[in-house]
Structure 1
Amino acid sequence: MRIIRTTDYDDMSRKAANIISAQVILKPDSVLGLATGTTPLAAYKQLIRWCDRGDVDFSEVSTYNLDEYRGLTHDDPQSYHYFMRKNFFDHINIDLSRTHVPDGSNPDADAACADYDKLVHDAGYPDLQLLGIGNNGHIGFNEPDKYFSKGTHCVDLTESTIKANSRLFDREEDVPRQAYTMGVQTIMYARMILVIASGEAKAEAVRRMCFGPVDPECPASILQLHTNCVVIADEAALSQCPEA
């Protein structure tokens, strides 16, 4: 695991965008695993600017998002389908038929998860998987558990995750209580994993991810075992870690 220490959120975001753009430039038909939430927003904006300038070309790229809330239609403003189009896909030259997000509108959880697993498998798994990290150490929506998950599955979100995500909803009670998410094993199949973290609220989770025991109670800790994992985090997020 390689740790890149940055000064602040903007520095973190630019360095993450640099790595993602380099992946696409070196392999134009890259398979990218993407994440939602507030942490990657500035990195996406930087990639949009570079695409507008002609510095990076997404026309042959395929993408597979980590997760989606169960029960939301694709055009629901709180869905991750909507989030990705609003914040990234609609602003770059990507073929929307090459973009994939779990189908939260499918009430049949087993079918929705199996279908998504097949899509990711048939794509050969991501060349680069972008991850954020939750305050409780979750990656995707893989919450603390007694074991590491395998394939895409339906999860019951913890109260801490619901509370953290409520900032994006009008009311906390509006946050869905379940989601479909890639499993930890699926994430680990990516050839490169890029984790980004910012802010003091993430400090304990980042410490446990990088320096704690490998334990499903902190799902991100398994990334210590990946052969090509890069963590880009700002000073605040690394405040509980030894100097990198």
Structure 2
Amino acid sequence: MNVWVYDSDDKLNEAGAGIISGIVQTNPRAVLGLATGGTPVGIYKQLVGDFERGMFSFRGVTTFNLDEYVGLPENHPESYRAYMNEHLFRHIDLPSGQAHIPDGNAPDLEAECRRYDERIEDAGQLDLQLLGLGHNGHIGFNEPAHALIKGTHVVDLAEETRKANARFFPSLDEVPRQALTMGVGTILKSKTILLVVKGADKADIVRRALQGPITTDCPASLLQTHPHLVVLLDRAAAEKLS
């Protein structure tokens, strides 16, 4: 595990984008696992800037997003498809057919989960998986549980997770209650995992995830078992690490 702590958002975002762009420059046909939420926005902005400066191309890259809400139209402003289009996809040269996001409106959600896993398997091992960290230790939408599911699956979102995401919606009642999420088994198969966490409100869960016992009650703690985990933290998020 490599843990890096930064004193500014700009430096952290530059470091995160540099890790991703370095993989793409080394392997123009890289397979990337992408995340949404507030944490990666600055990283995506830095990537777009680097792309516009001609540093690399996404033309040969394939991407798989971690998750998508169930029941939100694809063009809903809070769908993760809309998020990715807004913050990354529409600014770069990634062909649309190479950008994969689970279909939360599929008529058969279980079949959609199987289809998504098959596409990931066909693309080969993820070269990098970008992750944020939920307040309850979830990664993707893999919530704390007695056992975690290996592949893509339908998940009932914890009330804590819904409340955390309510800031993006007019009210808590409008936050979806289910999502499709990539499983922990798929995440852990990635060659590199890049975990990015910001803010003092995440300091406790950062300590549990990185230095606490490995338990499904804190799904992110399973990342301790990964041979190439890179963690980028701001000073506030790292405050309670020993």
TM beyond 0.5: yes
The CA distance in 2 between the partners of 1:213 and 1:166, in whole Å, is: 30
Task: State whether residues 114 and 152 of structure 1, in contact with CA within 8 Å, keep that contact through their aligned partners in structure 2.
Answer: yes
The CA distance in 2 between the partners of 1:167 and 1:107, in whole Å, is: 28
- Taking structure 1 as the reference length, the TM-score comes to 0.97
Q: Structure 2 matches for 1:192-207, cutoff 5 A?
A: 192-207=192-207
Determine if the alignment matches structure 1 residue 220 to structure 2 residue 214: no
The CA distance in 2 between the partners of 1:52 and 1:41, in whole Å, is: 17
Task: State whether residues 157 and 178 of structure 1, in contact with CA within 8 Å, keep that contact through their aligned partners in structure 2.
Answer: yes
Q: State the match for 1:55 in structure 2.
A: 55
User: Which residue identity is paired with 2:118?
Assistant: K
Residue 148 of structure 1: CA displacement? 2.4
Q: Which moved more, 1:214-223 or 1:75-84?
A: 75-84
Q: State the match for 1:173 in structure 2.
A: 173
1:100-128 superposed Cα distances (whole Å, 9 cap, x missing partner): 00001114221111111111111113100
The CA distance in 1 between the partners of 2:161 and 2:10, in whole Å, is: 24
Residue 206 of structure 1: CA displacement? 0.8
Q: Structure 2 matches for 1:120-139, cutoff 5 A?
A: 120-139=120-139
1:77-104 superposed Cα distances (whole Å, 9 cap, x missing partner): 1111111011100001111110000001
Q: State the match for 1:94 in structure 2.
A: 94
- Among all aligned residue pairs of Structure 1 and Structure 2, give the percentage whose two residues are the same amino acid: 48
1:40-95 superposed Cα distances (whole Å, 9 cap, x missing partner): 00000000001001012111110000000011222221111111011100001111
Q: 3-state SS of the aligned residue for 2:78?
A: coil
Q: 3-state SS of the aligned residue for 1:125?
A: coil
Q: State the match for 1:241 in structure 2.
A: 241
Unmatched tracts of structure 1, length 5 or more: none
The CA distance in 2 between the partners of 1:172 and 1:192, in whole Å, is: 35
Q: State the match for 2:26 in structure 1.
A: 26
| Runs of 4+ displaced beyond 4 Å | none
Q: State the match for 1:147 in structure 2.
A: 147
Please give the root-mean-square deviation of Cα atoms over the aligned residues, in Å. Answer: 0.8
The CA distance in 1 between the partners of 2:208 and 2:12, in whole Å, is: 20
The CA distance in 2 between the partners of 1:72 and 1:119, in whole Å, is: 22
Q: State the match for 1:68 in structure 2.
A: 68
Q: State the match for 2:81 in structure 1.
A: 81
The CA distance in 2 between the partners of 1:102 and 1:238, in whole Å, is: 32
Residue 33 of structure 1: CA displacement? 0.2
Aligned residues: 242
Unmatched tracts of structure 2, length 5 or more: none
1:140-181 superposed Cα distances (whole Å, 9 cap, x missing partner): 000001112210000000111001001111111110000000
